[in-house]
Amino acid sequence: MRVSKTVAFSLAAIGIGVAVYGLAAFRVRGEAGGLSKSITPAYWMERATGRDLFDPDKRIWYKGVRERKEVCITFDDGPHPLSCKSILSTLKDKKVPATFFVVGKQVDANPDLVKMIVADGHEVGNHTYDHVRLSKLTREQVYDQINECDLAVERATGLKMTFFRPPGMQYTDTVLSVVHQKDKIMVHWVIGAKDFIGTVPSDELTSEQKKEAPITPDKVVEYVVKQLRPGAIILLHDNPVTATALPRLIDAVRQKGFEFKSCKDMMEELPQHVKIDPNPPAHGPDRVLASHN
């Protein structure tokens, strides 16, 4: 059976299209969260509208602009007296802005450290009061965890917090509804350094994480550099291992041609141009979230 030139041309065009689509999906599989997600039309629709970077309905920021070799650095779980001052000293020496997602009970125990974070010009975000997994709590408990952390930072600094990150990045629709009620933006992450392995209680680890060797400063640098990509949000933790790794980590990232930006600045560069005040005065005008196409 002979195939007409028109049919042959059409089949060839379809084959090329499928191949190009498959190659594009393969290249962005890490950004999409896996190859299976990257081949779905929904992912490409979100990418075309910028919702894969920031979803204004869920109020979740996932990553910065992929065309810019910029990253932002974030620290969870502090402030810790054994490491926070060292981290701040390195950031000041290297002229790097950062965002600290603080735990309320740590703030109450170390208010002077939070004041130092603010005095050095860094952003402060909410990481709950007790660092509990919110997905297992009632709505009232979720609200209390977020609100009590807000109050702890207000007592220490007189400032509010716009940014929020749930422990373990675990959240539900209930958590999202409280995020809306509290007028916050949830900040996701792209690069995880695994710098909590061996530094947090074992009951906070998954079964797979418990099998891994305790983290070292060398491994922290290796994990970050290996995952570097434009627009990435880097997740680190306020602990001595990370504090030791930080100077080399910053140098290694810059050697790859990347620039460090604050969360606020990277969000303003998004297609939606999201403009916020990360830490407005507690008794001043409410912060404004403005998205413009």
Structure-block tokens of residue 194: 């695994």
136: number of Cβ within 10 Å:
10
- Whether 145 and 181 have beta carbons less than 8 Å apart is answered as no
- Whether 152 and 104 have beta carbons less than 8 Å apart is answered as yes
Chain length of the chain = 293
- List C-alpha distances in Å: 94 to 89, 219, 247, 289: 9, 21, 8, 30
Confidence of residue 24 (pLDDT cuts 50, 70, 90): very low
The residue from 52, 77, 237, 238 that is catalytic is 237
Alpha helices in 50-124 (DSSP H): 84-94, 104-109, 111-119
The model's pLDDT over 48-85, given as tens digits with 9 standing for 90+, comes to: 445 799 999 999 999 999 999 999 999 999 999 999 99
For the question of whether the overall pTM of this predicted structure is more than 0.75, the answer is yes
- The verdict on whether 237 is a catalytic residue reads yes
What value does the mean pLDDT take over residues 105-112? 98
- The verdict on whether 251 is a catalytic residue reads no
**What is the chain's mean pLDDT, rounded?**
85
| Pairwise CA distance, residues 156 & 40, whole Å | 46
The residue from 52, 76, 77, 150 that is catalytic is 76
The model's pLDDT over 125-177, given as tens digits with 9 standing for 90+, comes to: 999 999 999 999 999 999 999 999 999 999 999 999 999 999 999 999 999 99
The model's pLDDT over 212-224, given as tens digits with 9 standing for 90+, comes to: 778 899 999 999 9
Q: What structural domains does the chain harbor?
A: 5-49 (no CATH), 54-268 (3.20.20.370)
Confidence of residue 291 (pLDDT cuts 50, 70, 90): very low
What DSSP state is assigned to residue 11? H
